[in-house]
Structure 1
Amino acid sequence: MSDLGRKNFADKASEAIKPDSEKSYLEQAKESATGAYDKIARDVVPDSQKSFGQSIGDSVSKGKDEASESGKSYTETASEYLEQGKEAVAKTAEYISSSLTGAKEGAKDGVDAAKK
């Protein structure tokens, strides 16, 4: 699915599969122009105004472009995102654990105070 005026994913896939050597100059120029428009729309239109599928596709496309610009492979970039995700999960678990421990201690103190 694609949003109005955007390339759909089937078109993008078929463009990527067919080698440039088998495309006419007109096809290559069209792909270049529509690709440039698509990148602009990807960056300008807020995710809140995109369909879910378009938002996911744009995120993947942007990540691919950023990885290409940084000189990192997809694997390196994916590994970095995975590490960031692990850190976020660890911090969340630590926060929850400390909150539960604090609640348990607070409840115990309350029971002890009520017994007195």
Structure 2
Amino acid sequence: MSDLGRKGFGDKVSEAVKPDSQKSTLEKTKETVTDQVDKVAGGVVPDNQKSFGQTLGDKAQSGADTAKSDAKDHQATLADTANEYLGAGKEKLAEAVEYVSGAISGAKEGGEATKK
């Protein structure tokens, strides 16, 4: 049971169960709008004025939103770290190529000097 003006739990479940590929543009838009209205209503009404079920649902939604946000933040951090390691790897590879090239050139010059 949901509080007055709030999105019902049954509606939330049925929306989550139906794949987006089977929803019309109107359905997707309606879900997006009603989800946002429900989140705003959940944040405006104090917990002591909500039913137990609504409070529990709002806490679960808040936790899910926080987890998504944290995952996004960590994803960006991991991408940055991976790019830093990739850059360092390229730099070390270039140094190795330069060293090997120098060693081969030195060996070639030494071999030619010995022939003379």
| TM-score interval, normalised by the smaller of the two chains | 0.5 to 0.7
**CA separation in 2, counterparts of 1:27 and 1:71?**
27
CA deviation profile, 1:24-82 (whole Å, cap 9, x unmatched):
1111111010000011111111101101100000000000001110118xxxxxxxxxx
Aligned length: 72
Identity, % of aligned positions: 60
Give the TM-score normalised by structure 1: 0.60
Aligned to 2:19: 19
Aligned to 1:51: 51
**CA separation in 1, counterparts of 2:31 and 2:25?**
10
Report which structure shows greater RCO (CA 8 Å, sep ≥6): 2
**CA separation in 1, counterparts of 2:24 and 2:53?**
30
Give the TM-score normalised by structure 2: 0.60
Structure 2: any 5+ residue segments left out of the alignment?
A: 73-116
Structure having the higher Rg: 2
> What CA RMSD, in Å, does the superposition of the two structures yield over aligned residues?
1.1
**Aligned-pair CA distance for 1:14:** 0.5
